[in-house]
Amino acid sequence: MKKSIVSVLVTFTFFVSYSQDFSLKVWPDGPQNSNGLERPEEKYEGVRVRYVSEAEMYVYLPEKSINTEAAVLICPGGGYVIEAMDHEGYDIAEWLKGKGIAGIVLKYRLPYGHDSVPSSDARQAMRLIRQHASEWGINPEKVGIAGSSAGGHLASTVGTRFDYGLKISDNPTEKYSCRPDFMLLLYPVISFKEDVGHMGSRINLIGETNDWNKAKMYSNELFVTKETPPAFFVLADNDKSVIPLNSISFYLEMKKYGIPAEMHIFQEGGHGFGIRKNNIPADNWPNLFYDWLKAIKII
């Protein structure tokens, strides 16, 4: 009898804690492109993944009583060879959820030289969020994208190369816009110029090539237009892996068009600090980001 009661209590606790969290496949009928990977996905060092060949979204919805109707698609970093799903993914989503913002973590397919794969996943995920917006309590005009490191490169790729929906498509999902309404860029890779960008991310995305015509297609500072969405940058002055010039070059291009942007370059933090508590000033970035969302009238 006691065993049955315990079982019921455990089940009820799980339901209360996670009833609003769920996942869905980005391409339930299969993607139109492939990353050529045949080996199984692998988890290691806690919540990190590699060899990702199937894209999924992990949705964290806030309680209705605090819902701001805003949402953020979160792209974890990892040099386009792994994905740090914890401090650059799930932990950020949990924080957003507590602030009344839907946090949606994207486990995107890794490219292995198939450069169009990650961004096609992210664009499709943006469309899916808007397709389910009413069901999930989201305003389709308050959907942003976030990314850390190479995830920031992915986010800024989508933020500079998007469409407003393919109205003549037979696929209902494709009719929705994939343009982010704002961007959160954490120590992002932006440029693929050899003296600025992170060469590991570049090689993993486009392969070992010195062809600038290929590399410049993903040097995202070159693709800022008046339609590029507002951006919030977080980085550290002592980041030796992805130097600050990545963010600065993107910011300066945005300013040419008068696009709202805010940048915080912290003295310490290095690279990859995510949303961890490291007892450094950079730990305060989530609150600064929240205030910025208020300033641009997203929340």
Instruction: Concatenate the DSSP letters of all residues of 10-42 into one string.
Output: HHHHHHHHHTTEEEEES-TT--SS-----SPPE
- pLDDT for the residue numbered 280: 87
Residues in the chain: 299
Predicted structure pTM score: 0.92
Asked if 80 and 111 touch (Cβ cutoff 8 Å), the reply is yes
In 3D, which of 26, 28, 135 has the Cα closest to residue 73?
26
**Sequence letter at residue 124:** Q
Domain ranges for the chain: 21-295
Task: State which CATH number among 3.40.50.2000, 3.40.50.300, 3.30.420.240, 3.40.50.1820 fits the domain covering 21-295.
Answer: 3.40.50.1820
- pLDDT for the residue numbered 4: 34
| Beta strand spans in 196-286 (E) | 231-236, 261-266
- pLDDT for the residue numbered 182: 99
Tokens read off for 33: 């492109």
Residue 290 C-alpha from the chain's centroid? 16
- pLDDT for the residue numbered 5: 33
- pLDDT for the residue numbered 279: 83
CA dihedral 89, 90, 95, 98 (to 10 degrees): 140
Cα(183)–Cα(42) distance, rounded to whole angstroms? 29
Cα(5)–Cα(279) distance, rounded to whole angstroms? 43
**Sequence letter at residue 185:** L
- pLDDT for the residue numbered 10: 31
- pLDDT tens sequence across 246-295: 999 999 999 999 999 999 999 999 999 999 888 889 999 999 999 999 99
Q: What is the pLDDT along the chain (299 residues), one digit of tens a residue?
A: 333 333 333 322 223 333 348 999 999 999 999 999 989 999 987 789 999 999 999 999 999 999 999 999 999 999 999 999 999 999 999 999 999 999 999 999 999 989 999 999 999 999 999 999 999 999 999 999 999 999 999 999 999 999 999 989 889 999 999 999 999 999 999 999 998 999 999 999 999 998 999 999 999 999 999 999 999 999 999 999 999 999 999 999 999 999 999 999 999 999 999 998 888 899 999 999 999 999 999 99
